[in-house]
Structure 1
Amino acid sequence: MSQAVQVSTIIAATVPTPAERVQPLLPVLAGRAAAIDEGDTFVTENYALLKEAGLIEAGVPAELGGGGATVAELAEMLRLLAHGCSSTALAFSMHTHQVAIPAWRWQHQKAAAVEPLLKRVAGERIILLSSGGSDWIGGSGEARKVEGGYRVSARKVFTSGAAAGDLLMTGAVVRGEAGDSVIHFALPMKAPEVRVLDTWRTLGMRGTGSNDVVVEDFFVPDAGVALTRKAGEWHPLFQTISTIAFPLIYAVYLGVAERAREVAIEIAKAKPATEDMLALAGRMDTALRAAQLAHGWMLRVVERNAPSADTVNEVMIGRTLVAQHAIEAVDLALELAGGAGFYRARGLERLFRDIQGARFHPLQAGPQARYAGAMALGQPVARIF
């Protein structure tokens, strides 16, 4: 082994992983979680901790000034983060996947166009936002072609972390006689044409600040359009997005289920064990293990480094399995805890509400089953989303 390789190995072994950076933050995050949930307040102070810990830039390649974390390492960070505060983990997963996707493209597709964005994340620690389901395959909002660019008006829902964001990675639909298309661009959140509406009053994940963002006649220059694609149809970029993003997002729900299991076991151990309790604990751990195995499969699909219709199918199968079994595990955790788990002070009912969010990300149960069925039968999937 050369001296250069030895030095590189030593440095890699001594630099904390993202998960190791999160670990000391967990008691603080856990201590704030109940008040954040009860007040429907965004996790602003927690984001400040993440920034101080160097986690904003964790997914940026080291060559561009970031932490160089892999998708698997970022998933581990988010899973662990959910043990402290579900809302912080879910909101931060949206920034994390918006960094991981261009990082992957820079590394594996030599996409030089993403380099300035990644350097800004590393150097300025800017927060990237995703408008989630409202910018899915069909697109949303309206883009009118004008001289030199487009005028965009839209209402983007489920914009997690909107209050803290610097750039919203979004798109808008351009209507055309030959069919609709979608332009993609970065929207500065401080632009005067952008407003955040205080709409986030929900069953669970109450601290994510996933408010609606209203855009009124914002000008996007032609040079600011990163991509134009056909509306309502899968594009290779969305195959990349789906393959990389959802193992990160669902790492959060896995972490929520694991934390619910910890709370339930702590409560149950304080009581005499009965046969029914043994069975509940066993069923809970079986469901949780199924979720863990499914999530591990999602990460292995990412490691193929070949996004396609097939990897979308495999990741989305994993997404459904993680959701089903994580929800089941938390259901059983609440039952195992008994009446004690019904009290808000124990935190289990909050986790029970938070895990319900796993139902609602794409591909939801119906489209996912149709997509998998079409793949199995050799049918087209381009418009199944």
Structure 2
Amino acid sequence: MSTVTEGAHRDGGAGDDAGAAKVVDAVRDLAPVLRERADAAESAGRVPDESVAELAGTGFFRLLQPTAFGGLAADPGLFYTCVKEIARACGSTGWIASVLGVHNWQLGLFPEEAQREVWGGDDGARISSSYAPTGKVTPVEGGFRFSGRWSFSSGCEHADWVFLGGLIKGEDGAPVDSRTFLLPYGDYRIEKNWDTLGLRATGSHDIVVDDVFVPEHRTLSFLDTSALDCPGQRLNPEPLYRLPFAALFTSTIATPLVGIAEGAYATYVAVTRERFRVSYGQKVKEDPFAHVRIARAGSAIDAAWLQLAHNIAELYGYAMRGEHIPDELRLRTRRDQVLATERAVEATDLLVENAGGNAMRTGHVVQRYWRDVHTGRGHVANDPERALTMFGRGELGDEVRDPML
């Protein structure tokens, strides 16, 4: 149970980074357990409940949660460090931890009444999402009638609420606003249909809504999030809540893939130290071509993480100082986020190509990492052409308007 902490960080000071550093240590201690459960999670098609409970016990889900509701409102770089460590151990667990964790940040942007509804009785409540505006939205007095089907709601079986995307249209039928709608479990049902090549344990099932009422205060306009002017910022003045949605959300999708690539790299190196290639009568550790692949893959993974971490740190620095975040930085963050994904995939491919036939056997850790990173690459946030085109246009002086900026 939780009540709002009166006066918590009312001056807009930073969150509890010291407490968050302890969370990072606790997550690293938990990672070997998550690694041991990865095969069973994949077979079950669901991250074990005990894994989610133990992650909650580390304080992970509080990293981006407002201090007013028992959270740490911490430096987002610490959140992404945790995500990378979790995904390195188990790709599916890292994926759902990342998306469920970032939703506490987004809820902090909603009107205070919505935050109280979710966290007032349970400050450990979790939210899944599906942002594509595929449903039907009908404005009515005090809110909206809402119905439809949404796909790919990762971790929905571990959530109490859901964020769903919807378009509000004018009298001429043209969209005038795109919003995130917040619904409690009971106003929607989960249709279990997630059966994929990789990230099999994420449980990214469909969400179905049959004509329910969503009050106005449980919606958030993307116009407000893009402008960095959201109603929740008055309750939660910490710098964390002055960051762009697109930067945090897309980093939330890219970081698990970097962690997965790190896991593939560590596993490949460990196996290669002992592997003997019968065809050549040679220990693979003596093969100079394997050395080159290790160097290339390691550099690609390091570059991906260093750019992601650098951009998030720079964004957070602007927020800490209360300064305007330049469009150039927002564009660069999107550029480097999609390239981080590309590098993670390429690095994993380099290693798998040299891992031998045994690596493709069912149950081999390397091929699970390979399947996971390719499946995650398919997320719309990892579309390189869209983000790279935006960056190029910005560099050439064109005005760039995009909801994912």
Which residue is equivalent to 2:130?
Answer: 131
- Please tell me whether the aligned partners of residues 367 and 384 of structure 1 are also in contact (alpha carbons under 8 angstroms): no
CA distance in 2, matches of 1:379, 1:153: 38
- Structure 1 residue corresponding to 2:99, chosen from 87, 90, 94: 94
Deviations 1:292-322 (A, max 9, x none): 2222233234323245643431111111221
Structure 1 residues 337 and 98, CA, compared in 2 at 3 Å: closer, same or farther? same
Q: CA deviation at 1:120?
A: 4.2
Asked if 1:336 is matched to 2:332, the reply is no
- Please tell me whether the aligned partners of residues 82 and 89 of structure 1 are also in contact (alpha carbons under 8 angstroms): yes
Secondary structure class of the residue paired with 1:369:
helix
Asked if 1:270 is matched to 2:274, the reply is yes
Choose 78-87 or 164-173, whichever is displaced more: 164-173
- Please tell me whether the aligned partners of residues 260 and 348 of structure 1 are also in contact (alpha carbons under 8 angstroms): yes
- Counterpart residue type for residue 268 of structure 1: T
- Please tell me whether the aligned partners of residues 185 and 227 of structure 1 are also in contact (alpha carbons under 8 angstroms): no
Which residue is equivalent to 2:184?
Answer: 188
CA distance in 2, matches of 1:15, 1:377: 40
Structure 1 residues 327 and 366, CA, compared in 2 at 3 Å: closer, same or farther? same
CA distance in 2, matches of 1:224, 1:184: 8
Secondary structure class of the residue paired with 2:201:
coil
CA distance in 2, matches of 1:48, 1:229: 35
Asked if 1:318 is matched to 2:336, the reply is yes
Q: Which runs of 4 or more aligned residues in structure 1 lie more than 6 Å from their structure 2 counterparts after TM superposition?
A: none
Asked if 1:279 is matched to 2:283, the reply is no
Which residue is equivalent to 2:153?
Answer: 159
- Counterpart residue type for residue 124 of structure 2: R
Q: CA deviation at 1:245?
A: 2.2
Asked if 1:73 is matched to 2:78, the reply is yes
Secondary structure class of the residue paired with 1:220:
strand
Choose 322-331 or 168-177, whichever is displaced more: 168-177
- Structure 1 residue corresponding to 2:261, chosen from 232, 257, 260: 257
CA distance in 1, matches of 2:336, 2:261: 16
Which residue is equivalent to 1:4?
Answer: none
Secondary structure class of the residue paired with 2:305:
helix
Alignment of 1:279-318 (within 5 A): 279-303=292-316, 304-305=318-319, 306-307=324-325, 309-318=327-336
Structure 1 residues 377 and 71, CA, compared in 2 at 3 Å: closer, same or farther? same
CA distance in 2, matches of 1:322, 1:228: 25
Secondary structure class of the residue paired with 1:378:
coil
Which residue is equivalent to 1:377?
Answer: 396
Structure 1 residues 215 and 309, CA, compared in 2 at 3 Å: closer, same or farther? farther
- Please tell me whether the aligned partners of residues 154 and 172 of structure 1 are also in contact (alpha carbons under 8 angstroms): no
- Please tell me whether the aligned partners of residues 323 and 359 of structure 1 are also in contact (alpha carbons under 8 angstroms): no
Structure 1 residues 269 and 361, CA, compared in 2 at 3 Å: closer, same or farther? same
Q: CA deviation at 1:207?
A: 0.8
- Structure 2 residue corresponding to 1:58, chosen from 47, 57, 63: 63
Q: CA deviation at 1:91?
A: 0.8
CA distance in 2, matches of 1:285, 1:224: 44
Deviations 1:328-359 (A, max 9, x none): 11112213322332233430000001111134
Q: CA deviation at 1:262?
A: 0.5
Q: CA deviation at 1:153?
A: 1.0
Gaps of 5+ in 1: 1-10
CA distance in 1, matches of 2:66, 2:47: 29
Secondary structure class of the residue paired with 1:337:
coil
Secondary structure class of the residue paired with 2:103:
helix
CA distance in 2, matches of 1:165, 1:375: 38
Which residue is equivalent to 2:213?
Answer: 219
- Counterpart residue type for residue 390 of structure 2: Y
CA distance in 2, matches of 1:78, 1:364: 21
Choose 166-175 or 266-275, whichever is displaced more: 166-175
Choose 59-68 or 46-55, whichever is displaced more: 59-68
- Counterpart residue type for residue 190 of structure 1: G
CA distance in 1, matches of 2:326, 2:118: 24
How many residues end up aligned between the 2 structures?
A: 360
- Please tell me whether the aligned partners of residues 18 and 55 of structure 1 are also in contact (alpha carbons under 8 angstroms): yes
Asked if 1:352 is matched to 2:370, the reply is yes
TM-score (norm: length of structure 2): 0.80
Deviations 1:58-81 (A, max 9, x none): 322445422343201111111101
Q: CA deviation at 1:55?
A: 2.3
Q: CA RMSD in A?
A: 2.9
Q: CA deviation at 1:115?
A: 5.6
Gaps of 5+ in 2: 1-15, 231-242, 276-282
TM-score (norm: length of structure 1): 0.83
